[in-house]
Amino acid sequence: MKKIIILLLAIMMCVACVGCDLSLGSIKEKITYEPVTLAAINEEFEQNAMRAEENYVGKYVRFTCYIEDISTYEITFYEKSGIAPSLGTLYDYKCYAEVNKKDSSLMDKVKNLNKGGQVVVGGKITYLSDSSFTPCRVYMDLYEVVVQ
């Protein structure tokens, strides 16, 4: 009798373990976005570019911005003006987001957006680069757009 109970417990644990693996697999696929601003990325990049790259490249981020330009697969977003200490002038922080060509629902949503419209975007930062007009340009793969 004890052997049967132990066997049943082992089977139940195995089934539970497979269930856990399946749920862990789906949890791994969920993206957790970090709230950030383009101004914060630019400020950190201006102070220490390598540290900014370590802190942001490869991270999933979400921020509120405005649409500047929409091309075939790239959207330029900007965050309202800030003053860069190194430049001493007012400028807009920019982000260049590439839309996955395979994601037709996102492409349809993007095509229907108006320039100047406020949106919340989420995606993965692919790299940061120097810019002559702002401390840095942020490049990202776009995963979501929510119209405000």
| DSSP string for residues in the chain | -HHHHHHHHHHHHHHHHHHHHHHHHHHHHS--PEE--HHHHHHHHHH-HHHHHHHHTT-EEEEEEEEEEE-SSEEEEEEEEEE-TTT-SEEEEEEEEEEPTT-HHHHHHHHTPPTT-EEEEEEEEEEEEE-SSSSEEEEEEEEEEEE-
Domain spans, the chain: 1-30, 34-147
pTM of this structure = 0.69
**Tens digit of pLDDT for each residue in 76-92?**
888 876 655 555 555 67
Q: Which CATH number fits domain 34-147: 3.20.20.70, 2.40.50.140, 3.50.50.60, 3.30.360.10?
A: 2.40.50.140
Mean pLDDT in residue range 10-24: 50
Q: At 27, is the pLDDT very low, low, confident or very high (cuts 50, 70, 90)?
A: very low
pLDDT at position 51: 94
